[in-house]
Structure 1
Amino acid sequence: MTTFYFVRHGKTELNLSLRFQGGDIDSPLLPIGIEQAIQAGRYLSDISFDVVAVSTQKRAMDTANYILKENNFLDGLTLQYHDNLREIKFGKREGVEIDHTDEQTDHLRTRPDLYDPTAFMGETIDSLVTRSTQTIEKLSEEYPDGKVLIVAHGVLLITLINSLVGKEKAKWREGGPLANTSITILEKENNQKNYTIKSFNDSSYQTKNEEA
């Protein structure tokens, strides 16, 4: 059985300003985002991961680094970086302030099966899930009895997780958005197709912080 620990990156400047932050843009972690990552690392410090797979975007790589600095089992750990774990691409909307009255924004959040980013040259939900699933399936094959840490992004993770557990496309955003540095644990039995959720969007380990 492979156990996956999915972690969203820490809070960034673009998160705070409520702007689209997709696969073609990056933004520094806020001080609270760094603290969130450190706390997540402490929470996971006694788990001996076999591999850590990280998006090639800086906010995810920085989050992973802060998490791993707290881990007690770094000897022999394999660290991988994957373009397939980058956030969904928002095309011309990258960095633009989010308009919550926009139809496609609403579809992205509530009905991903209706989401059509053609007008702003964005990436489709199907493309996002296909590429991210390829990476997860490959890791489950390579580490059939392993513990795998995934550090990536909000839209990618919630759609990927819901797809992996067998939900229909219309429900791929169900339960989202994931909190920054929240931890979701999935298990994959070697002879099973779908994954089982053991813990979802857990940020209970975080101490309260007044900074937004």
Structure 2
Amino acid sequence: MAELATLWIIRHGESTANVAATRAEASGEELIGLTHRDADVPLSPIGEEQARATGRWLAGLPPDRRPDVAVVSPYLRAVSTAELALHGTEVPVSRDERLRDRELGILDGLTVHGMQRRFPDEAERRVRVGKFYYRPPGGESWTDVALRLRTLLGDLRRDHAGKRVLLFGHDALVFLLRYLVEGLTEPELMALTRECVIANCSITDWFDDGQGRLVLGGFNEVGHLRQQGAEPTREDEVHAEPV
């Protein structure tokens, strides 16, 4: 099967849930205090500007480097990011539920402190099983998300061979695409998750090396935001999921 020419994934811009989660974690609250279901969380004003800045970066790419197609998570924060970033372009856009965020089940809406207080047995089980395989009741493990991404990658390679494909999604997907595309091991992937937080509207990309393999170009890059007049969310302000 022919390889993609380029694959990008852009995390959505800062959302109102990111802001609420950062505040709740800092103050030691148990609940993030969400007012929307996860699929309907909107962008914050900063997130909207990050998305527009990403659009200005995309518009500045040479024609032979611009995406041929975009595939977007159906969650509002990703859809809004894609709409703002791709405004005025003719890039075909489709939504794919396999790009949705990881589902946290009974832990949805909880801070780390809230998980430990309300579900101490689950917190203990997560430590015992490990982050990669732990599945919260009613939710997904990282391996569950990897399975759906694996099928998506197969479809992209079949339907868009030799093309430049742009994805809009969520932080866990960025890590897991590295796992799948680069053939990382569980320890290598988990080390990555400890070393960095995926920034809002950051760009990660892979390109065909000429031998039918995708190789990493850039990871978690935010320089385009500063270049286009938008301030990236500081790493210590980006909420990372508790599990």
TM-score w.r.t. length of structure 2: 0.72
Q: Is 1:185 matched up with 2:199?
A: no
TM-score w.r.t. length of structure 1: 0.82
String of CA shifts for 1:131-185, please: whole Å, max 9, x gaps.
Answer: 0121122112222221111000011221222332111023324154210000011
- The Cα shift of 1:104 comes to 6.5
Q: Is 1:4 matched up with 2:7?
A: yes
User: What amino acid is the match of 1:86?
Assistant: R
Q: Is 1:43 matched up with 2:65?
A: no
- The Cα shift of 1:125 comes to 1.4
Helix, strand or coil for the counterpart of 1:28?
A: coil
User: What amino acid is the match of 1:78?
Assistant: P
Aligned residues: 202
String of CA shifts for 1:53-108, please: whole Å, max 9, x gaps.
Answer: 00011110000001001x6xx33x32110000001110012222233864577799
Output the CA distance in 1 between the equivalents of 2:5 and 2:161: 5
* The structure with more helix, counted as a fraction of residues: 2
C-alpha distance 209-2 of structure 1, shift in aligned 2 (>3 A): closer
Helix, strand or coil for the counterpart of 1:205?
A: helix
Output the CA distance in 2 between the equivalents of 1:209 and 1:198: 22
C-alpha distance 14-104 of structure 1, shift in aligned 2 (>3 A): farther
Output the CA distance in 1 between the equivalents of 2:57 and 2:128: 34
Output the CA distance in 1 between the equivalents of 2:159 and 2:39: 31
Deviates more, 1:160-169 or 1:145-154: 160-169
The answer to whether the Cα contact below 8 Å between 2:206 and 2:218 also exists between their aligned partners in 1 is yes
C-alpha distance 67-24 of structure 1, shift in aligned 2 (>3 A): same
Helix, strand or coil for the counterpart of 2:72?
A: strand
Helix, strand or coil for the counterpart of 1:149?
A: strand
Q: Is 1:98 matched up with 2:112?
A: yes
C-alpha distance 24-183 of structure 1, shift in aligned 2 (>3 A): same
Output the CA distance in 1 between the equivalents of 2:134 and 2:144: 12
Partner of 1:61: 79
The answer to whether the Cα contact below 8 Å between 2:178 and 2:184 also exists between their aligned partners in 1 is no
String of CA shifts for 1:12-71, please: whole Å, max 9, x gaps.
Answer: 1111122499x95431111000011111111111343211000011110000001001x6
User: What amino acid is the match of 2:188?
Assistant: K
Helix, strand or coil for the counterpart of 1:186?
A: strand
C-alpha distance 167-49 of structure 1, shift in aligned 2 (>3 A): same
Deviates more, 1:11-20 or 1:96-105: 96-105
CA RMSD after TM alignment? 2.9
C-alpha distance 32-134 of structure 1, shift in aligned 2 (>3 A): same
C-alpha distance 157-88 of structure 1, shift in aligned 2 (>3 A): same
